[in-house]
Amino acid sequence: MINITLKDGSVRRYESGTSLLEMAFDISPRLAKETLVAKVNGRLVDLNTKLNGDAEVEFLTFDSEEGREAFRHSASHVMAQAVQRLFPGTKLAIGPAIADGFYYDFDSPHKFTPEEMEKIETEMNKIIKEDLPFTRVELSRDEALKNFGNRQEQYKVELVEDLPGDVVISCYRQGDFEDLCAGPHVPSTGRLKAVKLLNLAGAYWRGDERNKMLQRIYGTAFPKKAHLEEHLHRLEEAKRRDHRKLGVELDLFSIQEEGPGFPFFHPKGMILRNELLNFWREEHKKRGYDEISTPVILNRVLWERSGHWDHYRENMYYTKIDETDYAVKPMNCPGGMLVYKGRLHSYRELPIRMAELGLVHRHELSGTLHGLMRVRCFTQDDAHIYMLPSQIRDEIIGVIDLVDYFYKKFGFEYHVELSTKPEKAMGSDEIWEQATNALQEALESKGMAYKINAGDGAFYGPKIDFHLKDCLGRTWQCGTIQLDFQMPELFDLTYVGEDNQKHRPVMIHRVVFGSIERFIGILTEHFAGAFPAWLAPVQVKVMPITDRQLEYAEKVFRELDALGIRAELDARNEKVNYKIREAQAQKIPYMLVIGDREAAAGTVAVRHRGRGDLGAVELGRFTDEIVKEIKDRENSLACEH
């Protein structure tokens, strides 16, 4: 007999050789039905694993991350099986579980069409109905190579060849399908219940553009049909929050064929943008930043000196002025350096925090453009901090705190990554290590969780990146802090120290919003267009019910306007219902309905876009409250619209 300790600490005794699934069934038939994989002494395994000794066991259902992953991963195997049944000769690349589903990359002479996704789905449902057990087979490297070689699965052969020497090589079979896989998997295909294939895309083998482009099919899977429906419904909802759609509906911005990736901001978008910048300027002034502005076009010599000419060439735009080469700035730093160099600096001045709302242009690949999120020109809320080596830690922490303050203000959740030295980099390994350590120490002293993003630093230094989510859960880098020992060297930046000698300052590049454009995109999706009053392009809509109240409504409007409230008067000869509907669609925070009663009493009937009819109040009371709400930059809830 063996002793099995469960998650709750209870101990059960089973005969040696009992499988996990049998144990789950013994605990409760329902658990046996819902559990997908198990953790034995902390290691993930299949449920048909038989135990021969004492162990700590945790059963994992779809509610756990590991359970979901095994579930979706199993679905990807079923999809691969379906594809190979329907399209013999299709080669398998990789097929992992991802955040909300799974994908599989295929290499096939046949080009899959969207219509065929349904066929594949039907075949998958057949396989699910067949309820084929997933069985694990461990094999030696040679056996694995021979096996996949015989099946002409060259991608699998390549994967096996690259596996480290000490790893156990395993395959999973269901029916006549076999795939190289570490596992674990759910017990059988019948567990999958609800699968849906979502889209079709190209993807390079191993993510390298020099490799062959494969065909990737994305899908998702749930243990219950209702959950799948719910998920698909959520995706539909998310589309309604898409900033590209809301950008048109709310008339914030547009992108024209004449300038792909170069957004146009409309009057309402500019109000939003300027409010963000007002907030930004106030907060930066408080924190000791000065603001500068540097030119968009600068001489080639500058870009050669900064390293951009060598390391960033393919992302830049060029022009000639009087037979001399110039480039459009892709970054603000070189211009900023020139301002610093303009005069001598004493150690007493440091740190110098020099901010710039700089418009940069970058040649991004056409296929990557995406609304305001990825564009070819954008405004960075940049700043360069020049400092003594002894000030590095505090300055980095100061920026981390600033970013945190900004994101919390809008109610954003974010995650942090530390990006290290890329292949194409300037400077010695020692300097990179020193800079990377400084960033790491700052993160650790703040107790922040972060993920290492190896090889993703800027060419001149490592960086801390702050990532925000869009409506579909895709993440976008916004804030970043980059520690740079290169530029001060290249530009021969100095300060005069206590010893009256020249010394090299260290510098930080940092942005908080990242790109104003991208931030507005994220903000739009976060609030689903229902911006808090301080950001809303129109804050109040005044709507007389008939033209009898027009005179009083105009008076109300003038009063709001005089207080600096962004108000509009809807004097059109339309029903209130119609006016309200339109104002709601425009997500205007406050509507003031003005009828005979209000005109007589000097009140306004307040309707809030999220809270509905709030009843009549004295005009003065309403203005006092909204003025305070705007001044304090109060955040309404994102769910309100």
Partner RNA sequence: GCCGACGUGGCUCAGGGGUAGAGCAGCGCACUCGUAAUGCGCAGGUCGUCGGUUCAAAUCCGACCGUCGGCUCCA
**Nearby residues of 331 by Cβ (< 8 Å), 6 or more positions away:** 308, 312, 360, 380, 509
- Binding of RNA by 310 (CB under 7 A): no
Query: Residue 638 interacts with RNA (CB under 7 A)?
Result: no
**In the complex, minimum distance from the CB of residue 501 to RNA, in angstroms, rounded to a whole number:** 34
- Residue 139: both structure tokens together: 């094999």
Cβ 423 to RNA shortest distance, Å: 9
CA distance 208 to 97: 20
For position 611 contacting RNA by CB under 7 A, the verdict is no
- Residue 424 CB: number of other CB atoms within 10 A? 10
Q: Which stretch binds RNA (CB under 7 A): 170-178, 208-216, 497-505, 554-562?
A: 208-216
Footprint on residues 182-201 left by RNA (CB under 7 A): 199-201
Window contacting RNA (CB under 7 A); options: 181-189, 296-304, 540-548, 551-559: 540-548
Would you list the DSSP string of 304-317?
HHHTHHHHSGGG-E
DSSP 138: E
Instruction: Report the residue from 332, 477, 539, 636 that binds RNA according to the rule CB under 7 A.
Output: 477
109 in contact with RNA (CB under 7 A): no
- Cβ count near 452 (within 10 Å): 12
Minimum CB–partner distance for residue 34 and RNA (Å): 30
Query: Can residue 209 be called a binding residue for RNA (CB under 7 A)?
Result: yes
Q: How far is the CB of 410 from RNA (least distance, A)?
A: 15
Nearest-approach distance from CB 489 to RNA, in angstroms? 20
Q: Considering only 189-197, 202-210, 435-443, 557-565, which stretch makes contact with RNA by CB under 7 A?
A: 202-210
Residues 114-133 that bind RNA (CB under 7 A): 114
Which residue, 187 or 247, has its beta carbon nearer to RNA?
247
Instruction: Check binding of 152 to RNA (CB under 7 A).
Output: no
Q: How far is 404 from 273, CA to CA, in rounded Å?
A: 20
> Given the complex with RNA, which of 166 and 236 has the nearer CB atom?
236
Report the residue from 307, 461, 589, 595 that binds RNA according to the rule CB under 7 A: 595
Could you say whether residue 232 binds RNA (CB under 7 A)? no
Q: Exactly one of 137, 213, 270, 637 binds RNA (CB under 7 A); which one?
A: 213
CA torsion, ordered 355, 360, 365, 369, to nearest 10 deg: 80
Residue 604's nearest CA partner among 585, 584, 586, 624 is: 624
Asked if 585 interacts with RNA (CB under 7 A), we say yes
Among 195, 272, 333, 375, binds RNA (CB under 7 A): 375
What's the rounded Cα separation, in Å, for the pair 384 and 386? 6
> Residue 548: which of 580, 595, 592 has the closest Cα?
595
Residue 116 neighbours by CB distance under 10 Å: 17
Q: Considering beta carbons, is residue 213 or 297 the nearer one to RNA?
A: 213
Nearer to RNA, 10 or 366 (CB): 366
617 sits near RNA (criterion: CB under 7 A): no
Q: Identity (one letter) of the amino acid at 388? A: L
Contact call for residue 564 and RNA (CB under 7 A): no
**Nearest of 537, 616, 612 to residue 580 by alpha carbon:** 612
Confirm if 338 and 354 have CB atoms less than 8 A apart.
no
The DSSP-derived string for 237-290 is: HHHHH-HHHHHHHTT-EE--TTSTT-PEEPHHHHHHHHHHHHHHHHHHHHTTEE
Strands (E), 447-566: 450-453, 463-469, 475-484, 495-496, 502-503, 506-515, 540-544
Minimum CB separation of residue 156 from RNA in Å reads: 19
Q: How far apart are CA 241 and CA 328, in angstroms?
A: 34
Query: Which one-letter amino acid corresponds to residue 37?
Result: V
Does 618 help bind RNA (rule: CB under 7 A)?
no
Single-letter amino acid code for the residue at 161:
E
Q: How far is the CB of 370 from RNA (least distance, A)?
A: 5
584 near RNA, judged by CB under 7 A: yes
66 contacts RNA (rule: CB under 7 A): no
User: Tokens for 385?
Assistant: 């901090």
Instruction: Figure out which of the listed residues 371, 462, 537, 589 binds RNA, where binding follows CB under 7 A.
Output: 371
Q: Where are the alpha helices (DSSP H) in 538-608?
A: 550-562, 576-585, 596-601
In the complex, the smallest distance separating the C-beta of residue 431 from RNA, rounded to whole angstroms, is 19
195, 328, 511, 588: residue in contact with RNA (rule CB under 7 A): 511
Binding of RNA by 247 (CB under 7 A): no
Total residue count of the chain as it appears in this document = 641
237 binds RNA (CB under 7 A): no
- Give the single-character DSSP code of 96: -
CB nearer RNA, residue 59 or residue 106:
106
Q: Is 362 in the site for RNA (CB under 7 A)?
A: yes
Query: Is residue 255 involved in binding RNA (CB under 7 A)?
Result: yes
Least Cβ distance, residue 135 to RNA (angstroms): 31
CA distance 457 to 509: 12
Binders of RNA: how many residues, by CB under 7 A? Answer: 82
* Helix residue spans in 35-107 (DSSP H): 65-86
- In whole angstroms, the minimum distance from the beta carbon of 459 to RNA comes to 8
Report CA dihedral (155, 158, 163, 167) to the nearest 10 degrees: 70
Residues identified as active-site: 333, 362, 380, 382, 384, 463, 509
Query: Which listed residue (235, 359, 431, 472) binds RNA by CB under 7 A?
Result: 472
Report H helices in 57-183: 65-86, 114-130, 141-150, 154-162
